[in-house]
């Protein structure tokens, strides 16, 4: 059985999806933020309720959408880090619960609020649930010519602070940029108990496994349109971020995908727990 229920959280309207042992919560008007994903009864996402409640703040938690630029924007750009999508309301255009599947689609389109990004676009986000699986898909459609896209997701995965030293991520890449030291080199060892900010260039696989420190393993997979993986955490915080980006940050030489009118590009993230 599956269902979609209207509710509210901290004053924001949310949609609660369920399908078998999977459930999720989405706040369309709060930047299309996925605020909760539960698989096999376990909450996978961390969420700072105070930043979620305050519409003037960037939310620390959930799965923020990084668009049109992930990380630092191009030099001279009027945009803040990670772009504007996570700050703007998305509009729900489809909701369906049938059999063992539930999905909601919402869109963000060019408007006065995005005028500093002088391009016409439609960003469609679809959250899908089925037993044992949560999927998040984003499609960018260019409605004008030469639309630049550098996309990313910023999932905050919940990890007990006491277990962070035991957290492991399966990852292989030819090199990584350490944003704390400013150096690029071979992939270093990961220590999630301390501060970590690594950009992995061209991971060997479009998938990874996040060992949560207590025996549970979260499996992530994504499309080949994402060519970089960012690992980020802060000491004493109950989260680890494992972030598929279309490429490394622009100041590091990351590539922008420039779309012609009518062209589209799709990014997908799948989550499974074992």
CATH number at residue 114: 2.70.98.10
Q: Print the domain residue range for 32.
A: 2-273
Q: What is the pLDDT of residue 6?
A: 99
Q: Is 99 buried (19+), middle (13-18) or exposed (0-12) by CB count in 10 A?
A: exposed
Q: Which residue would you say has higher pLDDT here, 79 or 140?
A: 140
- On the question of pLDDT at 32 being above 80, the answer is yes
Checking if the pLDDT of 129 tops 80, the result is: yes
Q: What pLDDT does 188 receive? A: 86
Tokens of 238: 């109950």
Taking all residues of the chain, what is their mean pLDDT, rounded to a whole number? 96
Q: Considering only 102-116, 169-183, 210-224, which range has the smallest mean pLDDT?
A: 169-183
Residue 247 corresponds to which tokens in the numbers above?
A: 């490429």
Indicate the number of domains in the chain: 1
Please check the confidence at residue 192 and state whether its pLDDT lies above 80.
yes
Task: List beta partners, residue 34.
Answer: 26, 63
pLDDT over 70, % of the chain? 100
Task: Identify the pLDDT of residue 46.
Answer: 99
In order of 39, 168, 192, 221, 274, the CA distances from 165 in angstroms are 23, 8, 6, 24, 20
Rounded to an integer, what distance in angstroms lies between the CA atom of residue 102 and that of residue 16? 10
Predicted local confidence at residue 77, as pLDDT: 77
Residue with tokens 């007990």: 160
Joined together, the tokens standing for residue 195 give 């501060």
Confidence class for position 76, pLDDT limits 50, 70, 90? confident
* Mean pLDDT, residues 146-159 taken together: 98
Of the listed ranges 44-58, 63-77, 241-255, the one predicted with least confidence: 63-77
pLDDT beyond 90 at 200: yes
Say whether pLDDT at 85 is over 90.
Answer: yes
* Confidence band, pLDDT 50/70/90 cuts, at residue 259: very high
**CB-CB contact of 187 with 240 (8 Å):** no
Q: pLDDT over 90 for what percent of the chain?
A: 92
Q: What is the pLDDT of residue 78?
A: 79
Strands 264-273 and 175-178: unpaired
Q: What is the pLDDT of residue 72?
A: 84
């Amino acid at each position: 059985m599956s269902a979609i229920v209207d509710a509210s959280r901290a004053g924001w309207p949310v949609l609660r999806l369920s399908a078998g042992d999977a459930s999720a919560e989405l706040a369309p008007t709060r930047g299309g933020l996925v605020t909760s994903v539960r698989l096999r009864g376990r909450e996978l996402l961390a969420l700072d309720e105070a930043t979620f409640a305050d519409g003037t703040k960037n939310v620390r938690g959930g799965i923020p959408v990084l668009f049109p630029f992930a990380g630092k924007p191009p030099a001279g750009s009027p945009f803040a880090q990670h772009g504007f999508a996570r700050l703007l309301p998305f509009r729900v255009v489809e909701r369906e619960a049938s059999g063992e599947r539930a999905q909601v689609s919402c869109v963000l389109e060019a408007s006065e609020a995005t005028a500093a990004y002088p391009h016409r676009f439609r960003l469609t986000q679809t959250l899908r649930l089925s037993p044992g699986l949560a999927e998040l898909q984003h499609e960018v459609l260019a409605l004008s010519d030469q639309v630049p896209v550098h996309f990313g997701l910023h999932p905050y995965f919940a990890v007990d602070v006491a277990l962070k030293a035991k957290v492991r991520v399966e990852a292989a890449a030819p090199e990584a940029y350490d944003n704390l030291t400013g150096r690029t080199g071979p992939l270093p060892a990961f220590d999630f108990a301390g501060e970590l900010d690594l950009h992995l260039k061209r991971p060997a696989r479009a998938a990874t496994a996040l060992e949560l420190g207590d025996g549970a393993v979260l499996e992530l997979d994504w499309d080949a349109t994402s060519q970089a993986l960012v690992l980020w955490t802060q000491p004493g915080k109950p989260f680890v971020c494992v972030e598929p980006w279309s490429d490394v940050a622009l100041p590091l030489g990351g590539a922008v995908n420039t779309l012609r009118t009518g062209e589209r590009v799709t990014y997908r993230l799948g989550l499974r727990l074992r």
